[in-house]
Amino acid sequence: MKEEEKGLSTIVKVVTRWIVGFILLFGIYIVIFGHLTPGGGFPGGVIIAGVFVLLTLSFGREVPLRKLNSTLASELDSFGALVFLLVGILGLYLATYFAQNFITTFPQQYFRPFSAGVIPICNLAIGLKVGASIFMVFIILAVTRVISVGEGRMKMLRKRTGRRRRK
Amino acid sequence: MEFILCFFLLMVGLYAVVTKRNLVKIIIGLAIMEYAINLFLILIGYRKDGIAPIMTSTMDRVEFLRKAVDPLPQALVITSIVIGFGILALAVSIAIRIYERFGTFDINEIKKLKG
Amino acid sequence: MKLIPLMVAIPLGTAFFIPMVSRKNQRVPDLLGNLCTFTLFLLSLCLIRFVPQVYFMGGWKPPFGITLVLDGLSSFMLILVNLVTFLITLYSISYMELYTSKLRYYSLLLLMLAGMNGVILTGDIFNLFVFLEIAVISAYALTGFGTEAEELEASFKYLVLGSVSSVFILLGIAFIYSLTGSLNLADISQKLAGEGIFQSPALWFAIILFLYGFGMKSAIMPFHPWLPDAHPSAPAPISAMLSGLLIKAAGVYPLLRIFYNMFGMGNLSQKFIPQILMVLGGISMAGGALLALIQTDIKRMFAYSSISHMGYIFLALSLGTPLGILGALFHIFSHAVSKSLLFLTSGSLEYVLHTRDIRKMGGIEERMPITAFSGNIGFLSLAGIPPLAGFWSKLFIILALVKAERLGWAIFACGVSVLTLGYYLRMNRYVFFGKIKSAFRRVKEAPGTMLGAMVLLSLVVIFLGSLLIPPVKKVLLSPAVHILYSGEDYVKLVLGG
């Protein structure tokens, strides 16, 4: 099956192709400027995941999975959480308390991307984590299914056929 | 007055959870309940004609304290939305697995356990 | 002192680290999981020396920041949770071979552990809710881990009832916040004492919401229907974790903190809250025991027994006297270790015999002596035979009831104890004694790590009475009772007044 035949109509595909880059950029902006303007890691991560959801809906599941397969997404997910935790633990050892701000020697300029100590790093970590995990949730709900292989053992499988047949 | 709306919403959700037979409708009911509580939390911190709780250097402190809305419930709501998202994702995935096992979303037909 | 946040950070970090490193090698999750829980157990023992201690997250002082409070009660619960979790992970090395994805199993288990440690340590009511949700969401997922039809159904049931109770807890927290403008437990307690808030109907509504929410989480009788389905459906180590730890760390412990430390039991007794707790406890004691009598599924019987014993704990803590609190706390410990032991035993039986129906078993003692030994120790302890753990805790509860001049309840508790002995003897007769069935004549004992965990847990059950020796009691139990009994000390400790 050729790629053009999958997914939604041509109009949707063309509009998606135009708009996807801007949405991704907007998501990254929301993450990076999270400590200055409304937003932050979680909303930005959701927007970034929204890009991949949009791609899945309009082009079928292969296109986003080629860019970001689920193993990599799972690893990014864990990586984001670990970075956040690492910032917390560094705060414990470089400063006094857990999650304390330890970048205090930075020039104190207001309204610059790198101005609020560890908060931008935390935002980046959260953005990574949330984006990857919401993408994973979507992909797992939409694409995989469980089949049983023998007694008590289960196996996760990629779904081969298209949409699930309704009763 | 707005609080009554929250409780109405909560009761709608609870009604869906208690009486509906369809797994998806139950999940929708759970989501409505969560949103009712989120709305309630936001309304606790709200004050009429309030401003965003961001203080700039030109602002008078007393004036700011008098007018700004309470930011803490908003932080709580963000957290509670994330938790709600986690529960919703898990519930939906369990519901899909149940559909694969039983071939139905009707809870009257899903009763292998007596309990 | 820097060790306190590590109690939450280590399991959280390991939970996210395991999926990153162990895609190829199947042994890595076992190793990392056990290492993590063992480290945590050692840490929790080390932390006894630092009691009492308040830790300010990010350096923000209360009531503005999140505090971690390590007082007597926290340290007591931490030791219990981490000890049992370590033995459970040891057990699951072999047992979880029955399932495919060990990686996800250990991830979720450690997340649940992180949630429980967080609930125990935190001094902030909303933070408590967040950690509670981390723990119970992992529990929902782990209940349906096998993805069989029954397991999914139980998991969904647990999820729906659990989320409804979580929503009510959050509503209660919202009420408390709107009344006092604070989220710190100690600060709320101070503000409640200062003004006449106790007359406000909203506060009583919040109390009822908490009672419902945490009552649901701890599966007290009218709110119990999820437990007899969820606990048997999970894999055996998870059943042990849920029944032994989660209903206590996520149900009773927050209730203790909120009712004793935040509201104060003296204030609550104006509106019959202790009486309500007592009646709920009584219903679950009798109801759980009676329903356990007629079960044929071994794990389902243990689950009903858990409801019955949660009733004991509620009955004891409703008294509000030091002896009653001591009884409740000691029963939390003894029931946690004994019930985990029993669930691990049932897992071992299921591993070897592939059935959970007690009528199909018989004479297993001949072929599986160590499993039979641990099963017997567990049930004797819960039935209250001296000198095992359950005897001491029941003794204290009954003594407290007598001392509080509630003789009727004391006799009732004794009666339920006899019922407990009854249903465990029935189980024992069917499973371990009698003639061995021909199908099981050649079965072998379960693998070594499972047996090791069970034997260690049996030893804990046998020697738990030593917690009552005065020097040990002074370190572990007395501070826990003291911090609950005198709420002012808790406020002073946290706010540093």
Tens of pLDDT, residue by residue over A135-148, are: 888 887 776 554 44
Look at the alpha carbons of C269, C119, C493, C59 in this order and tell me if their dihedral is positive or negative.
negative
Q: How far is CA C125 from CA C128, C130, C134, C176, in A?
A: 5, 9, 15, 10
In a domain, A164, yes or no: no
Percent of chain C with pLDDT over 70: 99
Domain hosting C445: range is 6-495
CB C374 within 8 A of CB C462: no
Asked if B113 and C154 come within 8 Å (Cβ–Cβ), the reply is yes
CB C451 within 8 A of CB C371: yes
What is the structure's pLDDT at A111?
66
CB C365 within 8 A of CB C437: no
Q: How far is B61 from chain C (nearest CA, A)?
A: 19
**Residue A161 pLDDT exceeds 50:** no
Over range B7-16, report the average pLDDT: 90
Question: Which DSSP category does A1 fall into?
Answer: -
Q: In chain C, which residues have their Cβ closer than 8 Å to the Cβ of A95?
A: 59
What is the structure's pLDDT at C170?
92
What is the structure's pLDDT at C113?
92
**Residue C450 pLDDT exceeds 60:** yes
User: Which domains does chain B carry?
Assistant: 2-102 (1.10.287)
Question: Which DSSP category does C219 fall into?
Answer: T
* Residue pLDDT, tens place only, A116-134: 678 888 888 989 888 888 8
The mean-pLDDT minimum among A109-113, C27-31, C363-367, C428-432 falls in A109-113
What is the structure's pLDDT at C129?
92
Tell me which chain C residue has its CA closest to the CA of residue B83: C133
In which residue are the tokens 């243990």 written?
C302
Q: How far is A140 from chain B (nearest CA, A)?
A: 8
User: What is the total count of domains within chain A?
Assistant: 1
* Residue pLDDT, tens place only, B64-101: 777 788 888 888 898 898 899 889 988 988 888 888 77
In which residue are the tokens 């270790």 written?
C337
**Residue A94 pLDDT exceeds 70:** yes
Asked if B90 and C154 come within 8 Å (Cβ–Cβ), the reply is no
In a domain, A166, yes or no: no
DSSP letters, A67-115, are: HS-HHHHHHHHHHHHHHHHHHHHHHHHHSSSTT-----SS---TTSSS-
* Residue pLDDT, tens place only, C184-224: 888 888 888 776 667 778 888 888 899 999 999 888 888 88
**Residue A28 pLDDT exceeds 70:** yes
CB C218 within 8 A of CB C62: no
Asked if B113 and C133 come within 8 Å (Cβ–Cβ), the reply is no
User: What is the total count of domains within chain C?
Assistant: 1
Whether C179 and chain B come into contact, CB under 8 Å, resolves to no
Question: In this structure, what token pair is assigned to residue C203?
Answer: 């506060």
The mean-pLDDT minimum among C254-258, C309-313, C354-358, C454-458 falls in C354-358
Identify the residue with better confidence: C197 or C455. Answer: C455
- DSSP 3-state of C69: strand
What is the structure's pLDDT at C114?
92
What burial class does residue A151 get, using C-beta atoms within 10 Å of its C-beta: 0-12 exposed, 13-18 middle, 19+ buried? exposed
- Residue C297: beta bridge partners? C357
Q: In chain C, which residues have their Cβ closer than 8 Å to the Cβ of A82?
A: 13, 16-17, 20
**Residue A153 pLDDT exceeds 50:** no
- Residue C67: beta bridge partners? C56
Whether C65 and chain A come into contact, CB under 8 Å, resolves to no
The mean-pLDDT minimum among A159-163, C197-201, C375-379, C468-472 falls in A159-163
What is the structure's pLDDT at A151?
40
User: How far is residue A55 CA from its own chain's centroid?
Assistant: 13
Q: Which of C5, C19, C148 sits opposite A74 (nearest CB)?
A: C19
What is the structure's pLDDT at A110?
64
Q: How far is A145 from chain B (nearest CA, A)?
A: 8
Asked if C58 and A155 come within 8 Å (Cβ–Cβ), the reply is no
Domain hosting A111: range is 3-158
pLDDT-based confidence at residue C112 (cuts at 50, 70, 90): very high
- DSSP 3-state of A44: helix
- DSSP 3-state of B114: coil
* Residue pLDDT, tens place only, A60-78: 777 777 777 777 888 888 8
Residues 132-161 of A with CB under 8 A from B: 134, 137, 140-141, 145-146
DSSP letters, C334-374, are: HHHHHHHHHHHHHHHHHHHHS--BGGG---HHHH-HHHHHH
CB pairs under 8 A between A and C: 58
Q: How many Cβ atoms from other residues are within 10 Å of residue B46's Cβ?
A: 13
Over range C240-253, report the average pLDDT: 89
Q: How far is CA A117 from CA A41, C159, C189, in A?
A: 15, 39, 34
In a domain, A167, yes or no: no
Q: How far is CA A145 from CA A158, B96, B97, in A?
A: 6, 9, 8
Chains touching A (3+ CB pairs < 8 Å): B, C
Q: In chain C, which residues have their Cβ closer than 8 Å to the Cβ of B102?
A: 149
In a domain, C1, yes or no: no
